[in-house]
Amino acid sequence: MNATSIPKDSFKANRKFYDDRNYPRGMGRSGDFTLAEVQILENHGVALKALADGSQTPENQLEQRFVEVCQGKLAPENKVEKAWLKYQNKVLSPKQFHTLFGRTKVEASDEETTTESIDIDAE
C-alpha cells in the first residue's frame, strides 16, 4: 500500500495534519520522515490521531486494524501503520542531547603531571 493506494473511504480527514509543537518547520523539513511518510501523515494524520486516541470509531476493517496496531495487538504491515508508529516514536521518545563537556570535574594530581627534564646537551 503506498500513499496513493489508500482507499477513499479510509482515514478521511477534513484538513491537513501539522504538528507545530514538535515540528515547527514542518515534518518534511525535519529529516525524520521520507516524502511518502510525510504525505501520509499530512493527508491522513488528523484521522489517524483521532483513531489512535479513541475519539473516532473505526468505519471499516482497515481502520479497525490500524486501531489494533496502535494498541499493540498487531504488528504494523502497511505504510500507514508504519508511518504513524514512526511518528509516535519520534514524538514520544526523549530527544538525545550530546555534549563535549562532562558533569564532573577532572582534577589533575601532582603525580600524574610530573615531567622529566631531558638534558639534550649532555653526552
The tens digit of pLDDT for each residue in 5-22 reads 677 778 888 899 999 999
Percent of the chain with pLDDT over 70: 79
User: Amino acid identity of 91?
Assistant: V
Contact in structure between 44 and 80 (CB atoms under 8 Å): yes
User: Amino acid identity of 116?
Assistant: E
Q: Is the whole-model pTM more than 0.85?
A: no
CA distance 81 to 89: 12
CA distance 68 to 59: 13
Residues, the chain: 123
Task: State pLDDT tens for residues 26-35.
Answer: 898 989 999 9
Of 115 and 4, more confident = 115
Name the residue among 24, 28, 19 with its Cα closest to residue 49.
19
